[in-house]
Structure formats: C-alpha cells, structure tokens
C-alpha cells in the first residue's frame, strides 16, 4: 500500500468521522439531520387522508373484498352514532398491566411491570399509551363490505362472570354480534384474543377480522444516546416468502412503503429500541398486510386483515383467534410466540455472526450472574479465537516499526519523486520480507465479528438498566462519571504509541486527530459498549507487548 493510498484512506475515514459527528450535533441541537428530516406528527396532517387501501393480489378474493370495506379508523358518522359512555377496564398479571377501553375494546395503555421507565426506579415503563398527540394503541374489529359492523370505534359492554385474567366484551351492529375475549396468563406478555361472531342476519356472511397497531411517528428518546447511536423505530412485518421487513415512517408518509401485501403466515409489529408490540394471526389463514397514515391524522398504522375461513350461516357462529404481544425484545420469549418474531432484534447482514454471540453472552450471564462480567469474558473468548491472525498482524506491524527509520530516510532522499520512492519502498519490503498489508488484512477479518458484537450489546434488552459494579449502574447508558471513556482514551493512546509511526507526518497527524474524535464520541456511548472496547484494547496491547518482546529476543530492536 503506497503512501498516496494510505493518505487517501486516512483522509476518508477522518472525513466520514467528522460528517457523522456533525450530523449527531445537528440532531442534538434540534436541527434537521443531514441525511433527511424525521417525520413528525405535523407532517402526517399535511399528507392528507389516504384512500382506503385495497386488497392486493390474494388467492382468496373475499379478503380483498373485506379490505375494501370501511377503512379501520375512519371517523364514524356523528349523527348516526348512538350516545355511549366508555369505561376503561384493567386486565393484568405479574408482568403486564393493560387498560382496555370499552369504546372498541382498544388497548390504550400497557404498563410493563418488570421494566422501569428509567434507571431511577421512579416508575414502570408504559409502552402503549393514548396520550394526546402521541398515540400508541392496539385496535381490532370486523370488516364487511357495505355494512357497519363492530369495530374499534363501536361501544362494547362487559360480559359478566369471567374468571381472573379474562375479559370479555360484546357488541351488536349491522346484524353481527361480536364477542371479543382477552386472556392474559401469569408471567406472559402475550394477550390471547378470541373473536366470536354470531350471524343474526337471514343470509350467510363472511366478515374479516383486522388487528392494527397505531403509533405516532416520533422516536422515543433514550437520552443523549439517540444523537450518536440510532436504532430503528417503526412498523415491521414478517412473511415466510419475504421474511423480516422494516417499513420506515417516512416511506409511509410519502406513499412509498414497500413490503409484502399478503400471505398465509406471518405477523405485523411496531418496534422501537428494546421493546415491541405485534399482532400474530393464526397460521395458515389468508390475510393482507397494510401500512398507512391514520385518516384522522392520529399516527401511522400497520395491520393485518383476515377473513373467516368459511361463510357464517344464518344463526351460525364462528371463531378466530390471534395473539397480541406487548413486551420487551427478549429473543428467547419471542421465538416461542411466532416464527421470525425474534428478528425484531435486527442484526441485518451480521445476523449469522451475531446470533451465536448473543447465545454465548446469555450463557455467560447464567454462569456469572452479572452482565458486565459476561461482556468481559465474551470479549476475552472472542479475542482468544482470533489470537493467531491478530498475532500475524502485530508481527507485521512490529517489522514495519523496525524499518520506519529507513523508510523516513528514503522519503528524505527521494523527496517529491513518488515513482522512485515507491520503487525504493517495494525493494525494502522485499529485502526485509515484509508484507505492507500484513498488518491490515488479519485485522479486517475481525471487523465483522466485533461489529456484530457491537450490535448484540446495543440491541439486547437484557443490558437495559443492568449494573456492573460500583458507579456503573446501567450498562445501556453512558458512564455518569466518564471514567470508562477516559480509560478507553488512555488505552487508545497506548495502542497508538505501540504501532509504527507513519512515515508521512500528515498521516501521523490525521491518526492523532482521529484518536481525539473517537475519544469524544465514546463519552456518549453506552457503558457496556465502552467496557467491551476497553477490554479489547487492553488485550490487544498485552498481545502486542508479548509479540514485540519475542521479536526482541530474535534480534529486532523494538525500542
């Protein structure tokens, strides 16, 4: 690698670092991102009321017909709606407390009893909330072409005599009686819902059931982390054909959302850092998937619509079930709820590497009982696996350091004659049996591994509010005393001094500036990530020192 190429790479890295740092500062000060504005609630209102989304390309056209009925969420005719006084009911177990409104049976509040809102233990996390201007609710109901049938705007009454952990609501409209039964078992974040439909008409009907999640378009703030570390917030869905798909809010606002439109399996969800809500309809039942803006300007929606398997005869009855999950992104739990639901913890192209790391981290925690120590030992194990390629890299760097004075002499000798300088450099490498890329290639092999570990630590809800020791009370937030970032900066400086000094003074200055930039950025990184980098750097320094010592015994002068 000649000096021009090295200078270009260093300048490129330095330039991108400054760009991302400036973008983070813009977001921190409330200004638009350099990479496009975030959709806000005001943008939704300006977007106007979208038309009802049609059913698309289904093998069963009945579902498409149902989807063309009244759009769920459209405001009802105020003159036709009877007076109804809603009531908010509570359904809870030991991990989840729900508030269910008898107006439509909407789950308008969900409190996670095992997860605090912040590290102060001031209160539990409220994931779903019908807060004015910032709604996040779960809705469901029936659709039938040309008829007003019970939906999430209909007034329901409570069915008496239900056991603990069960809530039943019933409503009659348009010749159909819908009884919606919620069941919440102890220790579960999954609400089982059974839709029982009785046909009071004189003719057979085939209604459809829909389940939708409606959420505001703002990202939930987790403090200053959001300005430097960005995670996805928005709708997602999964099908067997197209697998996991994320749908950005801005794509929905622009009418450019791309995702699967139908299938016989899968689910829809709203995801944010650490937490998820998801509708999981029964497997094998044809359904359509839709994303859009709420017609009344009250957030973004993602939903499924699924017909009953057969028409319901007059005086007949039919049932359809679904699961509504509201809880943390616990991968072990999510896998049991539905296939692919654990993919909401998205590692993207690093999944094949990140998944084994996650399970190893879980096992280490089960043995050690502390997430901080689990991170340390996981880093040690990974470092041990890559000992040999890293040793090769450090040996190459050590030899480069040995010939640095001769390289500087060649630079002074040939001055601006780049051709003769490069020829002389190549001859030096050949004579000393040095591969100029030998210090880079082994390190490049390890980059995907450590990137995967980065995302594992960033995406694991288990890290949230998890203490390590002494002053580190939460591994998912920055060090409140900045002790870990300072230690990391010291290890970065020590590692820089161990490496050979670039022969080009400009390259050396760029590297020094990059060290300072990264040191500042790590002030805002979660403590768990900083701890990982510290351990990795300390082990790298120890490995370099050991290799340099062995080379000195072989006659190399390393000091």
Residue 200: band (very low, low, confident or very high) from pLDDT cuts 50, 70, 90 = very high
Percent of the chain with pLDDT over 70: 78
Strands of 176-184's sheet in order across: 157-158, 166-173, 176-184, 190-199, 317-328, 275-280, 267-272, 234-239, 243-246
Residue 94: band (very low, low, confident or very high) from pLDDT cuts 50, 70, 90 = very high
- Predicted confidence at residue 507, as pLDDT, reads 64
- Taking only the tens place, the pLDDT of each residue in 480-522 is 888 999 999 999 888 777 765 655 667 667 777 777 777 787 8
Residue 120: band (very low, low, confident or very high) from pLDDT cuts 50, 70, 90 = low
End-to-end CA distance of the chain: 25
Please say if the pLDDT value at position 152 is more than 60: yes
Contacts of 185 (CB under 8 A, 6+ apart): 93, 165, 192
Arithmetic mean of pLDDT, 524-532: 87
- Taking only the tens place, the pLDDT of each residue in 363-400 is 999 999 999 999 999 999 988 888 887 777 767 777 77
Q: How far is CA 314 from CA 146, 150, 176, 201, 205, in A?
A: 18, 17, 10, 6, 8
Rounded to 10 degrees, the C-alpha dihedral 395/398/402/403 comes to: 80
- Predicted confidence at residue 62, as pLDDT, reads 41
pTM above 0.85, yes or no: no
Higher pLDDT: 412 or 198? It is 198
* Residue 161: φ, ψ to 5°: 85, 15
Place of tokens 């749908």: 247
- Predicted confidence at residue 40, as pLDDT, reads 37
Q: How far is CA 199 from CA 204, 318, 457, in A?
A: 8, 9, 52
Q: Is 128 exposed, middle or buried (0-12, 13-18, 19+ CB in 10 A)?
A: buried
Please say if the pLDDT value at position 93 is more than 90: yes
Can you read off the two tokens belonging to residue 470? 């002494």
Please say if the pLDDT value at position 179 is more than 80: yes
Contacts of 227 (CB under 8 A, 6+ apart): 24, 25, 27, 28, 524
Please say if the pLDDT value at position 12 is more than 60: no
Whole-number Å distance between alpha carbons of 23 and 34:
6
- Predicted confidence at residue 380, as pLDDT, reads 93
Whole-number Å distance between alpha carbons of 328 and 376:
24
Higher pLDDT: 257 or 495? It is 257
- Taking only the tens place, the pLDDT of each residue in 53-92 is 333 333 333 444 444 444 555 544 434 445 778 899 999 9
Give the lowest-confidence range in 61-75, 259-273, 544-558. Answer: 61-75
Q: How far is CA 502 from CA 489, 507, 540, 559, in A?
A: 20, 6, 20, 16
DSSP result, 166-198: EEEEEEEETTEEEEEEEEE-TT--EEEEEEEEE
Q: How far is CA 203 from CA 116, 142, 310, 311, 321, in A?
A: 52, 17, 14, 10, 24
Arithmetic mean of pLDDT, 462-490: 88
Whole-number Å distance between alpha carbons of 255 and 249:
10
| Residues 305 and 55 sit within 8 Å (Cβ to Cβ) | yes
Taking all residues of the chain, what is their mean pLDDT, rounded to a whole number? 81
- Predicted confidence at residue 97, as pLDDT, reads 97
Arithmetic mean of pLDDT, 203-230: 80
Whole-number Å distance between alpha carbons of 73 and 67:
13
454 CB neighbour count, 10 Å cutoff: 17
Contacts of 312 (CB under 8 A, 6+ apart): 197, 198, 199, 204, 205, 206, 207, 318
DSSP 1: -
Whole-number Å distance between alpha carbons of 68 and 57:
13
In terms of DSSP bridges, do strands 300-307 and 287-293 run parallel, antiparallel, or are they unpaired? antiparallel
DSSP result, 36-65: -PPP-HHHHHHH-PPPPPPP-S-SSHHHHH
Residue 348: band (very low, low, confident or very high) from pLDDT cuts 50, 70, 90 = confident
| Residues 246 and 236 sit within 8 Å (Cβ to Cβ) | yes
Contacts of 253 (CB under 8 A, 6+ apart): 39, 43, 44, 47, 217, 293, 300
Arithmetic mean of pLDDT, 34-39: 42
**Residue 475: closest CA among 365, 380, 367:** 365
- Predicted confidence at residue 50, as pLDDT, reads 30
Highest mean pLDDT among 98-112, 508-522, 535-549: 98-112
Percent of the chain with pLDDT over 90: 45
Can you read off the two tokens belonging to residue 129? 């909330």
- Taking only the tens place, the pLDDT of each residue in 415-445 is 777 787 778 878 777 777 776 665 566 567 7
- Predicted confidence at residue 118, as pLDDT, reads 76
Whole-number Å distance between alpha carbons of 451 and 350:
8
- Predicted confidence at residue 332, as pLDDT, reads 92
Can you read off the two tokens belonging to residue 66? 């149902």
| Residues 134 and 118 sit within 8 Å (Cβ to Cβ) | no
- Predicted confidence at residue 556, as pLDDT, reads 61
Higher pLDDT: 536 or 403? It is 536
- Predicted confidence at residue 23, as pLDDT, reads 54
């Amino acid at each position: 690698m000649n000096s021009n190429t090295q200078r270009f790479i260093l300048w490129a890295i330095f330039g991108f670092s400054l760009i991302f740092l400036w973008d983070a500062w813009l977001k921190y000060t409330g200004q638009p991102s350099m990479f496009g504005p975030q959709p806000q609630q005001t943008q939704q209102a300006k977007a106007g009321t979208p038309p009802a989304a049609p059913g698309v390309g289904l093998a069963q056209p009945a579902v498409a017909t149902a989807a063309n009925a009244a759009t769920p969420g459209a405001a009802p005719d105020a003159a036709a709606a009877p007076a109804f006084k809603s009531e908010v009911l509570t359904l809870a177990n030991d991990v989840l407390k729900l508030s269910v409104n008898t107006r439509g049976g909407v789950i308008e509040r969900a409190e996670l009893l095992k997860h605090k809102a912040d590290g102060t233990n001031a209160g539990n996390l409220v994931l779903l909330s019908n807060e004015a201007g910032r709604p996040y609710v779960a809705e469901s109901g029936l659709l039938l072409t040309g008829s007003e049938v019970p939906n999430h705007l209909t007034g329901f009454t409570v069915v008496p005599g239900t056991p603990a952990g069960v809530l039943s609501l019933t409503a009659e409209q348009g010749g159909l009686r819908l009884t919606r039964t919620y069941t919440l078992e102890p220790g579960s974040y999954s609400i089982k819902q059974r839709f029982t439909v009785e046909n009071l008409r004189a003719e057979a009907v085939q209604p459809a059931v829909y389940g939708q999640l409606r959420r505001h378009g703002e990202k939930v703030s987790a403090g200053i982390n959001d300005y430097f570390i960005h995670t996805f917030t928005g709708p997602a869905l999964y099908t067997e054909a197209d697998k996991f798909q994320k749908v950005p809010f801005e794509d929905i606002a622009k009418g450019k959302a791309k995702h699967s439109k139908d299938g016989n399996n899968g689910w829809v969800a709203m995801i944010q850092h650490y937490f998820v809500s998801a509708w999981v309809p029964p497997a094998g039942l044809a359904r359509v998937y839709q994303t859009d803006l709420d017609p009344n300007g009250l957030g973004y929606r993602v939903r499924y619509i699924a017909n009953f398997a057969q028409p319901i005869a007059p005086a007949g009855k039919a049932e359809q079930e679904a699961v509504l999950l509201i809880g943390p992104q616990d991968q072990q739990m999510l896998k049991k709820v539905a296939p692919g639901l654990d993919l909401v913890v998205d590692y993207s192209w690093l999944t094949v590497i990140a998944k084994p790391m996650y399970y190893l981290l879980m096992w280490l925690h089960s043995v050690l009982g502390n997430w901080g120590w689990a991170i340390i030992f996981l880093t040690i194990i990974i470092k041990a696996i890559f000992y040999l390629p890293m040793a090769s890299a450090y040996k190459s760097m050590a030899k480069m350091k040995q010939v640095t004075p001769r390289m500087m002499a060649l630079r002074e000798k040939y001055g601006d004659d780049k051709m003769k300088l490069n020829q002389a450099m190549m001859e030096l490498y050949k004579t000393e049996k040095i591969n100029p890329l030998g210090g880079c290639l082994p390190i490049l092999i390890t980059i995907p591994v450590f990137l995967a570990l980065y995302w594992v630590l960033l995406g694991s809800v288990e890290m949230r509010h998890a203490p390590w020791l002494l002053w580190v009370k939460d591994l998912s937030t920055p060090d409140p005393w900045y002790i870990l970032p300072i230690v990391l900066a010291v290890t970065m400086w020590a590692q820089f001094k161990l490496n050979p000094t670039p022969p080009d003074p400009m390259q050396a200055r760029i590297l020094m500036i990059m060290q300072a930039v990264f040191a500042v950025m790590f002030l805002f990184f979660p403590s768990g990530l900083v701890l990982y980098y510290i351990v990795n750097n300390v082990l790298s320094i120890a490995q370099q020192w050991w290799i340099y010592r062995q080379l000195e015994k072989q006659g190399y002068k390393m000091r």
